[in-house]
Chain A
């Protein structure tokens, strides 16, 4: 399939217009055409969640989304998520909890976690584990990731996750 589609969409709050091959994935468009390499290519078939982005406020695997299907939609990547206050809370919580080892799954997990916290503020451990079912991490064993998301989900704006009982 070689035909191109002209698309216009919002990317991290900025209007973008470009022409993409009809069969191109949103992931390839983000990484190769727009240079946003925070979104990772893991498996390419929706199993690992490393490429998770937000489209119209819903988390999706960008490897399974056609770039052409971004037309008219609101797309947010990890680069956009960390600019928000909720994203900053998550980033601090991931650092404080030691939830990052090799780091490859981290952007996808943070995007998915931001969607989870938005949909279920104050999510408990079971809800968090369920919410990140679609994100694989091969280093951490998930414990610290779940801890990080739980601390970021806690409705306590007066205290940053950094100051919470770190040894």
Chain B
């Protein structure tokens, strides 16, 4: 069915329904419900990589001991995701394909250097390609998934032992809010210095982004107040927030400045 290419893929429906009802998105001639495809389900670890099937719901991620214990940064984001009703229906594959700059699971997945698995069957044989999340996301609502491709899974390399991460999301209502900004940051302490520093932001650029200069300001350095301030200043030069109904660009910068400092303070246990 996918080979023809003119297909709207339906999984949880929690984004597709409001988008089509509001007229922001038009159905293609075929609406394909993938909910019962068993290959797109399940969470499993193999050789240091956790494979999360595209159909795994946010509730299933929250209930997974593997995710809670080994991918806690992602687990925290799921804990802040919408409401119980939406977590029960929404899938991680849908959150990825929707490619929102504010997508809650995208921020920790980017920080954890996840890659998406895209499957196609152009001439009867299955073709798989793996794309790093940073390259998969092209802009608001846009990804590099081809029309004849299906997002089958997301693969997340397990962070090293001792990696501590924290997710922060700012919204005006505890449940259901779309992020004004979100932050996923993590690092590992190697004696006095920081290693494997990862910082990612949501809702401050056309896609979720990493902050490589802020990471470099911390990587291999001692975790003290001056280093943190340098990292925060580096991060402010890497974000490009817009003003919209949720907040002004000025307010988003203030949030990143103050909340990144708080998150890094927790991560570095200062």
A-side residues, CB < 8 A to B, are 1, 22-23, 25, 44-47, 49, 52, 58-61, 63-66, 68-69, 72, 112, 115-116, 130-131, 133-135
CA distance A65 to B86 in the complex (A): 10
Q: Which residues of B contact A61 (CB under 8 A)?
A: 14, 85-86, 89
- The answer on a CB contact under 8 Å between B85 and A60 is yes
B88 in complex: contacting residue of A23, A47, A59, A66, CB < 8 Å: A59
- The answer on a CB contact under 8 Å between A46 and B85 is yes
Does any Cβ of A come within 8 Å of B174's Cβ?
yes
- The answer on a CB contact under 8 Å between A44 and B18 is yes
CA distance A82 to B14 in the complex (A): 26
User: With A1-B27, A22-B31, A58-B59 as given contacts, are A134 and B86 in contact (CB-CB < 8 Å)?
Assistant: yes
B-side residues, CB < 8 A to A, are 10, 12-14, 17-18, 20-22, 27, 31, 33, 35-36, 59, 82-86, 88-89, 174-176
CA distance A22 to B20 in the complex (A): 12
| Given A58-B59, A64-B14, A112-B85, 8 extra CB contacts under 8 A | A46-B176, A49-B85, A64-B13, A68-B33, A69-B13, A130-B84, A134-B85, A134-B175
Q: Which residues of A contact B17 (CB under 8 A)?
A: 25, 45, 63-66
CA distance A39 to B12 in the complex (A): 20
Q: For residue A63, which residue of chain B has the nearest CB?
A: B17
Q: Which residues of A contact B20 (CB under 8 A)?
A: 23
Q: For residue B28, which residue of chain A has the nearest CB?
A: A1
- The answer on a CB contact under 8 Å between B18 and A45 is yes
A49 in complex: contacting residue of B12, B18, B83, CB < 8 Å: B83
Chain B nearest Cβ from A22, distance in angstroms: 5
List, sorted by A's number, 21 A–B pairs whose CB atoms are closer than 8 Å. A1-B27, A23-B20, A23-B27, A25-B21, A45-B17, A45-B18, A46-B86, A58-B59, A58-B88, A59-B85, A61-B86, A64-B86, A69-B13, A72-B36, A116-B84, A131-B84, A133-B175, A134-B82, A134-B83, A134-B85, A135-B83
A47 in complex: contacting residue of B13, B31, B36, B176, CB < 8 Å: B176
CA distance A133 to B79 in the complex (A): 12
- The answer on a CB contact under 8 Å between B18 and A46 is yes
CA distance A47 to B86 in the complex (A): 9
CA distance A135 to B86 in the complex (A): 11
User: With A49-B85, A134-B83 as given contacts, are A66 and B10 in contact (CB-CB < 8 Å)?
Assistant: yes
CA distance A72 to B133 in the complex (A): 34
CA distance A32 to B159 in the complex (A): 50
User: With A49-B85, A60-B88 as given contacts, are A44 and B21 in contact (CB-CB < 8 Å)?
Assistant: yes
A64 in complex: contacting residue of B18, B22, B31, B174, CB < 8 Å: B18
Chain B nearest Cβ from A30, distance in angstroms: 15
CA distance A125 to B86 in the complex (A): 21
